[in-house]
Structure 1
C-alpha cells in the first residue's frame, strides 16, 4: 500500500515536472521566436533596399540624430513655450551633452541600434572615441577626419565614405551596438557633427560592429560601394518587374490617365520622357506637367507634383543620378517602391499652352505577403503650407501627417536671386541656407532630429554651391547661391519611422519677399488609413511665382569673389561672403573678398587670376570701408601698389573706388598679394568688391 502510494506520488510529481518542462519549452520557443536577429550583412543590405521601406514600422523602431545644434533653443517643459527657437550659433556654442574632464560627450544612445550616418563640415585631427555596450575600450579611436578617409578598413569605401564636391563629409558605414553607444571627442576634433542612428524594436539581437570586419561584412560593404560607384541609375530591385511602356499625347489643359491597374501589386520603377519640347521652354513644361498617382480608389491622389520636381530637380532637366531618383539623357527615373491593394491610376495634367508627348515606362510587381502591413507611397509638391506661430520663427513646414509610416526625405528647389543678407534675415545670417531641420515624431515636444543648417541636412557644407551627386543626396543646379539651387536628400537606411504623427520643419530665415522662395517635394510612406493633408496647389500658382530681381553687376571688371586663394597665413578668408545689403546697388554681384588679419600671424593672403589681355593698365579697386577695417598693402605680380585704409571714419559701411597704381600684364596667370600694413589694431578686416584694369 505504501509502495503504491509512493508510486502514485512519483507519477504525480513526474506529471507535474513533465507539464512544467512542456510549458517551459513552449514558452522558450515563443521567446526565441520573439527575438529577431539582424546580421551585419543584412543591415548593410538596407543601404540599397528600397522595397522594404514600404513595410510599416514596428513598435519601438526609431530614427534619431545627435548634432551640434545651438543648445540655447529649448522648449519649456511646463508651459510648452519655444525659447530662443531661432538660435543659430550651431557648432560654436557648447555643441556637446557634457564634459568628462577635457573631453566632450557628443552622443549617447541606448540599443539595440546602429549609427547609420556621420556628417561633419570641419573634421580635424582630435580623436573621437566610440564606445559600445558599456565596454571600457572604444570600438573606434580615430582622429575625426579619419572617419571620412580609408584609414580604417571598415571605412575604405569611397562611395560610402567621402567628401562631396560641396565640402560636406559623409560616412554611411553602419556601426552597430546591442546595449548602448557613447561618442566622446577630445579637444581639437573639429566643428559641427551629425550622428544619425536607428533603434530597433526591443529584443532585437544585432551583430556587433568591429573595425576589423568579417569577410562577409567587408564583401557586403564592397558590393554596395560598387553599386553606388558603377551602377547608380539602375534599379537595385529590378528582378521581378514586368515593364509596361505607354506613349500619350496630351493637349493643352487636358488631364489624361496614362495607365490604370485594377488589381493589387506594386510599382517598382517609373520612368518618364517628354518628347519634342523646345529647349527654351523645358523649364516651363516640366513644371506645368503635373503627375498624379492614386491608390485603392482614393478620392485625392497620394502623389501630386510637377513632373520635373517629382524626379528630384527643378527647374528644368538637370542630369544627376542617386539611388532612388535621377535624370539622365534618356529618362527621368524613380525606383521608390509603391504598393497598392485595389488598383492604381497614373495621370498627367498638361497645364501648358502647347500639346506634349510623354513616354512612360512602368515596372510592376506582384505582391506577396500581407498588403495591409505595407504603407502607401506619398509625394507632394508645395510652396508654403500653414504658417507657424511667431515664437516658432523661423520654422517652415515641410510635412505634417497623421498615421503610421516612414519619412523618406525631400527635394528642395530654391529661388534666391539677391543672395545673402545681414539684416532682413535677422541675427546676422548671410545666406539662404542657414536653417536647421527639426523633426517631431509621435507628439514629441522637442524634436528628436535637430540639425545645424539646410545644406548640412542635404549632406554638404559651408553654403558651397558646387554640383555633386551621391547615392543619397545631390546638388544639381549651381547659380552661386544667387538664383536657382536644387538639392535633395533621401533617407533610406536612416528613414524616420512614426506610429502616430510626423511633423517636419526646415528653418527659413529669409522671407519670400526678399525674395527667397522655396518649392519642395516631400516623400513618405503612410498607412492606408493615414491622413495626408497636403492639397494640390492651384494651377495658376505652379509656374511663374518667382519674384524677379536683377542684380547690379559692373561690366568688364575682375570680381574679387572670382579670385583663387592660393595661400593664407592670416585669419579667415573667403570669396563667398555677401556684402551688407545696404550696399547692393554699388557692390557688383553682391559678393566680396573677405579677409580678417589676426595678431601674431604673418597675415599674407596670396591670390591669383587669369588675364585674357596684354598691356599697361591703370588699376582701380572698389572697396568697402567699415568700422573694423584695417590698412593693407597690395602687390600685383610682385609690384607694390597703393596701401589702402579700409576703416571708415564713423560706424557706417560705404563703397569707394580707389586708384591703386599701374601695372603691365601679359596674358596668363597673374598674382595679387595682400598684407597687413600695421599691427596696432585687431581684428583688421578687408572687404574688396572688384578690380578694374583700365587700358588698351
Structure 2
C-alpha cells in the first residue's frame, strides 16, 4: 500500500508540473500509470503518433483527393525509412518538446541504431538495435517489465526517451526489420528534462517503482484518494431484466469490479456476451458505455484469466481502473438478455471529481461489429472508431473469429497468409494521411509473426487463443501513448480476410470525449450479440498424426516449423490446413527429429501425405530408428501438390514415438519438405 501512496503523490506532482510547463523525467515516467490525467482534455500542442516501417507505396494524392495502393502490404520490405544518408537510414525525426514512449520490433538485428537529440552531433544512444530490448546492455533500459520480448516474439521497450528541441533516429545496415517508434509531444514552451543514459537517482527510482508495480501488483490500483467511497451491491437479474445503480454529485469512478456468481462454466460464454453494461453520464440521451460485460473487461469468448494495467479477469472477478469523472449523475445499468438468472457482485470506488467543468472528458467504451464501412478505394480498412470533439483515444479490445486459419489469396490478395496482416491507421483532426500507420495487427498488440501464444503485460495481452484457427482475444491500452485529438478521431484496422471467408471481428473502442462531442456508435441489436460467427468445420484426416502435432526435438538443418498454413485451395485435402515444414542445409548433418504420442500398440501400415513443391527435396524417413524409406521425394512441377506415399508396416508400442528425417544432400536438387500427416492404418492379422 505504501508504494501506491508514493505513486499517488508523484502523480499529483506531475499535474502541478504540467501547469508550470516544467516536466522532470520522473513526471513523464509517472504518466505511465496516471489514469486521472487521461480524462483531462488535451492542450494545444499535445500530439501522439508513430514512425514505422509501413509499406510506403500507400499514398494519398492531395490534388485528386484519392488513396492509392492503400492495401500495399510489403511492410518492412519496401524502403522502410524516411530517407537515406549514405548507407544509413533515417527511421524517425521530429521537433520537440516530446518523448519516444514505445519502441517495438519483430526482428531487431546487430546493426547499430543511433538516437540524436536536440541537434547534438554525437548520438545519445549508439548500439545494436537488438540491444534496445536487452535489459543488460544499457542501465536506463534495465527494467524487465518495461523492456522485454513477449511470449509471442514481439520486442517492446516502454522506457521514455525525452527531448527538448528535436530527435532523429538513424539506423546502420543490418539493423533488422520492422520498427515502431511511438511518440508524444508536449504543449509549446514546456521545459522537459531530457533523457540521459546515466539516469539521475530520481529518474531511476521512478522507473523502478513502475517496474515493480508491473511485476508484482497488476490488478491493484496504482493510486487512490484517501477520501474515496466504496459502493458495494449485489444485483440479481432475471432473464430480460434491467437494473441500475445511481451515483449523484460531482464524482469520479476510480475502480469498478464485477464478480459473476453461480454461472455454470457451460453457460459463462453466452452469459458474458448477453449481459449488457450501459453507463450514461450527466443525463445525456445516449450511453457513453455500451458493451457486453465480458468484452468490456477486455476478453472474449468466456472468462479468461489475465492481468493488465487498466483491465483484467482474475479468480476474484473482473476489474477496471479507468478514471470516469462526471458532473452530477452516473447511471450504471445492467441488462440480462440470456435465458438464465444472472447474479453480480459489484464494487465501485468513487471520489470527488477534481476537474473544472468543461475541462475533462467522459469515458466512452463501445462494442460493435462491422459499422461505418469505408469506400472501396480505402479497402481493407475496417472501422474501429469514428468520433468528433475533443478527447483521447486510449486503446481497444479485439475479438477475432477465424476458423479456417491463414492464407486467403482468393479474397485477401497475394501475400495475405494469415488473418492479422492488417495495419492500424489513426487519423487525427481531419488528417488525410494517418499519423499512426502500423505494420500488422499483431504488431499493434505488441507481438509478432502471428505467434498464437498467450501473454500478458501491463499494456497489452493475448489472453485467449485457438492457435489462429478459431477465436483470438487481444487488447492494447494506450496510457502514456494515448492519442489526443481536438476536433475528431478515426481509427481503422486493416482486415484483408472478409466475413465470408469466414473471418469476423468484434471490438470495444475506449476513449475520452468532451461533453459536447459526438459519439457515433449505437447499441448492437440483441440478436447479433452471440452466435453470429459463421460456422466452419476444418477437415481432419482419420487415423492420422498431423504435422502440426509433431514436436520439433532437434534440428541440424535449416528452418523448421510445425505451424505453417498451406494454400486455401488445399483446405479440403490437407488435414488441419497446416503442414510441418523443414529445409535441408548444406555442410551440416541436416537431420530433423520430431516426436509425437501414439495411443494404441499394434501393427500398422504407415503412409505420409506429402505437400510437394517445386523446390522439394529428397529425404530419408526413420521411425523409432527404423528406416522406413530412404528416397521420399517432395518435388513436383506444381507448387503445393498433395500426394500420399506408403512407407511400410511397423510395430508400435503406445506412447512417445520419434520420427527422424534426413535430407539427401547428394541427389536432391531441392531442400524443402512439407508433411501434412502420417497415417497409421491397423493391419488385421
State the 1:489 CA deviation.
0.1
1:101 aligns with 2:86: yes
Give the Cα–Cα distance (whole angstroms) in 2 for the partners of residues 568 and 38 of structure 1. 52
Give the corresponding residue for 2:148. 162
Give the corresponding residue for 2:426. 439
> Which one of the candidate residues 348, 353, 371 is aligned to 1:367?
353
Q: Structure 1, residues 214-268: CA drift from partner, whole Å, max 9, x if none? A: 11111111100000000000011233321100111111112221x1122111000
Give the structure-1-normalised TM-score.
0.91
> Which one of the candidate residues 155, 165, 177 is aligned to 1:191?
177
The answer to which of 181-190 and 653-662 deviates more is 653-662
Give the structure-2-normalised TM-score.
0.93
Give the Cα–Cα distance (whole angstroms) in 2 for the partners of residues 331 and 46 of structure 1. 27
> Which one of the candidate residues 486, 507, 516 is aligned to 2:494?
507
Relative to structure 1, is the Cα distance of residues 144 and 687 closer, same or farther in structure 2, using a 3 angstrom cutoff? same
- Asked if the contact 1:633/1:677 (under 8 Å) is kept, the reply is no
Q: Structure 1, residues 384-403: CA drift from partner, whole Å, max 9, x if none? A: 11111111110000001000
1:254 aligns with 2:244: no
Relative to structure 1, is the Cα distance of residues 34 and 408 closer, same or farther in structure 2, using a 3 angstrom cutoff? closer
Give the Cα–Cα distance (whole angstroms) in 2 for the partners of residues 372 and 228 of structure 1. 33
SS in 2 for 1:672: strand
Show the 5 A alignment for 1:684-695: 684-694=671-681
Show the 5 A alignment for 1:212-227: 212-227=198-213
1:80 aligns with 2:68: no
Q: Which has the larger radius of gyration?
A: 1
Give the Cα–Cα distance (whole angstroms) in 1 for the partners of residues 556 and 60 of structure 2. 43
Show the 5 A alignment for 1:588-667: 588-597=575-584, 602=588, 604-612=590-598, 617-642=604-629, 643-649=631-637, 651=638, 653-661=640-648, 667=655
Give the Cα–Cα distance (whole angstroms) in 2 for the partners of residues 227 and 637 of structure 1. 50
Give the corresponding residue for 2:308. 322
Give the corresponding residue for 1:564. 551
Q: Structure 1, residues 642-682: CA drift from partner, whole Å, max 9, x if none? A: 22222224x36432221234556564462423414457745
1:112 aligns with 2:97: yes
- Asked if the contact 1:262/1:343 (under 8 Å) is kept, the reply is yes
- Asked if the contact 2:257/2:347 (under 8 Å) is kept, the reply is yes
State the 1:564 CA deviation.
3.0
Give the Cα–Cα distance (whole angstroms) in 2 for the partners of residues 84 and 182 of structure 1. 28
Relative to structure 1, is the Cα distance of residues 33 and 588 closer, same or farther in structure 2, using a 3 angstrom cutoff? closer
> Which one of the candidate residues 267, 287, 297 is aligned to 2:273?
287
Give the Cα–Cα distance (whole angstroms) in 2 for the partners of residues 556 and 261 of structure 1. 61
The answer to which of 606-615 and 215-224 deviates more is 606-615
SS in 2 for 1:373: coil
- Asked if the contact 1:383/1:518 (under 8 Å) is kept, the reply is yes
Give the Cα–Cα distance (whole angstroms) in 2 for the partners of residues 153 and 586 of structure 1. 54
State the 1:107 CA deviation.
1.0
Tell me how large the CA RMSD over aligned residues is.
2.0
- Asked if the contact 1:594/1:686 (under 8 Å) is kept, the reply is yes
SS in 2 for 1:497: strand
- Asked if the contact 1:176/1:206 (under 8 Å) is kept, the reply is yes
Q: Structure 1, residues 31-77: CA drift from partner, whole Å, max 9, x if none? A: x9986111000111111111111000000111110111111111112
The answer to which of 279-288 and 414-423 deviates more is 414-423
Give the Cα–Cα distance (whole angstroms) in 1 for the partners of residues 588 and 324 of structure 2. 61
Give the Cα–Cα distance (whole angstroms) in 1 for the partners of residues 595 and 59 of structure 2. 47
SS in 2 for 1:360: strand
Give the Cα–Cα distance (whole angstroms) in 2 for the partners of residues 437 and 402 of structure 1. 19
- Asked if the contact 1:635/1:673 (under 8 Å) is kept, the reply is yes
Give the corresponding residue for 1:342. 328
Q: Structure 1, residues 478-512: CA drift from partner, whole Å, max 9, x if none? A: 20001110000000000000000101100000101
Give the corresponding residue for 1:29. none
Give the corresponding residue for 1:672. 660
State the 1:605 CA deviation.
4.9
Give the Cα–Cα distance (whole angstroms) in 2 for the partners of residues 254 and 84 of structure 1. 50
Give the Cα–Cα distance (whole angstroms) in 1 for the partners of residues 659 and 109 of structure 2. 30
- Asked if the contact 1:634/1:675 (under 8 Å) is kept, the reply is no
Structure 2: 5+ residue stretches without partners = 1-16
Give the corresponding residue for 1:428. 415
Give the Cα–Cα distance (whole angstroms) in 2 for the partners of residues 108 and 571 of structure 1. 38
Give the Cα–Cα distance (whole angstroms) in 2 for the partners of residues 618 and 212 of structure 1. 67
Structure 1: 5+ residue stretches without partners = 1-31
State the 1:369 CA deviation.
3.8
